Each structure stands twice: as C-alpha cells, then as structure tokens.
Structure 1
C-alpha cells in the first residue's frame, strides 16, 4: 500500500489555529471599531474576563502573514493593511481645475504683450496681482521669465513657453487671433483697444515695422503731390 507523503517544512507540521469564542469576540470588536481601541475598551465589551493581552498576542500572530495585520500603536489596537500590500491601496486620480479669472486675464496679457513685466500686467489689468496668480502659470510651464527690462530696477519680463504653444495647438505666436479677429468673434470690444500696444513679441514688432513703412509711403505720396501742385 502506497501511503501519501506529507510534505513538512523544516520538519514542523503546522496545524490550523482555532480561535476560542472570546478571541473571536475580540477579533469582531476590533474589526467593527471606527478607531483603534485600548485594552480597557476592548475588555469592557467582552462577555467574560480573560487574559486579554495574551489573546491579542495570539490574534496578532494569526494575522501576521495575512493581507490584514493586527497592530498596536500607542497602546491601541486596530486592523491595518499589510505594509507589503499598501501599494494596492493607493489610487491616483487626475483632478482638473479651472484657472481663476485672474490667471486667465494674466495669461492673456502676457500672450499678447510679451515680454511684459509684473507692473505692466497690473497696469493693464487695473488691479494688483492675487496670491500666486503668476506662480500658477509658471507651474504649468506656460509662462517663464524672459530677461530683464532695461529700465531702472531692471524688472523681470515674462513670456510664454513652448509648452504654451503645444497645449493650445499653436505652431507659432503669429497663429494667435488678431485684434480684428477677436473683435469679429465678439470676444473683445475693438473700439476700446489701442492697436499700438496690442501685439505679441516678434509678431508685434513685424506689425509695427509694417505700420512704419506705410507711414513713410504716405509721406512720400503727400510730398510728391505738393511738389506737383507747386510746379503747376
């Protein structure tokens, strides 16, 4: 007759541990508690008096290799997730938050007036900066320092970043809508906008150069017409 071999680890046979009725009570009391319990509180809920510390030690050993462990912190007992499995209990969730109105206004000013200083932004908005308004835009990496303005005090100027263009799906700053386009869309009142101070970086400079060329051509035309009148 072949007898089934019983595998033993380290020559020790482990028999299942049985909990006594009181130990089961202790287990249930701690499990149902909303907060860790001290010995006195646990003992007050038991049906009979026992060596509670001995019972807790036994339960602690029973749960030592499980997903839930019985732990004692500051003389209070509670069930906790095993430290080895704590990574399963974490949950990452992306929370989308809207920018404040102040942040949106500040971003718009930097976009269309860059490079621009903090004081210039406040002057255009008509109000002082709120707490962390500019810092939030810098954390998003949409705005960054862009050198210092050559005026007394050398204030920092701010400009937009490549991440700003990427986020708003823009190839370059000149892809931004112009004043006329914004007005046509009903987004701004063009009658109250000074085109001379509304632009963006290199794009704005190019527009200014075009205006200068137009001015000179108009002067040439005016002078030519005046000379022709005098000749006649």
Structure 2
C-alpha cells in the first residue's frame, strides 16, 4: 500500500501542473488577439467574419457558439456575424446551416445530382446503411430511449445485435439509460452526429411521425404495447 501511495502524484505536483497549464492558456490568449482593437470597426468585423468562416470550414463537425467565441472579441455578436456570412454566401453552391447545436457548411440541395454524378468521397457524408438499418435508426430517433426488444416489436421481427452494432459503429446511436423493465436492458438513443449527418438542429426537426404511421412505416402503438406488457409481466413476477 505504501508503495502504491508513493506512486500517486502529490497534491503539490498536481497544483504545479494545473498552474503550468493555466499559464500556457494565458500565454495563448496573450498571443492570439481576439479583440483586434487596433483595427477600424469595419476591418475588425471583416476579420472576425473570416476567422469564423475558417473555423467552420475546417471543422469535421458542427461548430458551437462557445467554440466560435474563442476567436472573436467579447463585444462580437455571433448571430449577427453568422447572418452576414450567410448573406455573403448567397449565390454560392454551399451555405452555412444550423445543425446539431452548431453551424456547418453544407452544399445546397440544388447541386446534389452534380455531387452524386461526380462519385467522389464527400466530407462528413452519411455512412452507407441498408434499408432496414435506416428504418431502425428512424425508429430509434422517434421512440428513444428504446430497447432492442421494443424495436423488434415495431418491425415484427428481431432487430439483431449486428444491426445495432452497425448503427453504433457509424456513430448514429449510443447507449441510453437502462430500461425499468425486467432484466434492465440497455436502451438506445441518437447522437449529435445523427443530427449533423441528417441536417437537423434538434430532434424536433424529425418529419411528422403521424405521416410515417399513415404510410405504415412506424407503429407508435406497437412499441407502447410492448413496453406496457413488459411492465405488467415484471409486476406479476
């Protein structure tokens, strides 16, 4: 035990490391001029716009407001700056969109056929899913948190672990809270990458579920019956 204790970093060492990190961050802040007070107001705004556009362009995922605030002055309105960037991109084949709690460059839908015809790999494209995997992902989007058994009830056949693994590997879903049903199975929920990949800001942007039910693609009643049946079974046991 004494040897193990000796191997642990002391509080003094931890404090010294934290101070060193804070000092490095302070040095970075000093070297990087966010405020640009030496520039006239119009040139300052223009530089902030270019910085924000560069950060969004280089990022693999949507960039949050918090991230963008690191490259502009404290008095800069991110919303007004984004509005100006969007206006500047009018007429371009790409635009600045709000998805998954941040902003990202996206090609305009009018050029989708040209992009497909080029047959080149696209940045941040949606992973190729089978038709059934796509349907399972859609069901998770609407009914989350949801278990694999509940998904199987919706589709009238087993949703395999391989299907779940495929969606996890594509970073579209993650484990949610344990279900209160017998056995406490894992539930599944969608991720921020799911929102980003399908161009949604929040889950409220999902298509109207009633229309999907009318088309026979999803059954909210089926999963509710499955969940209630599991609860009743657990109480009986």
Larger Rg: 1
- Shorter-chain TM-score bucket reads 0.3 to 0.5
Q: TM-score, normalised by structure 2?
A: 0.37
The structure with more helix, counted as a fraction of residues: 2
Q: TM-score, normalised by structure 1?
A: 0.38
Larger RCO (alpha carbons 8 Å, 6+ apart)? 2
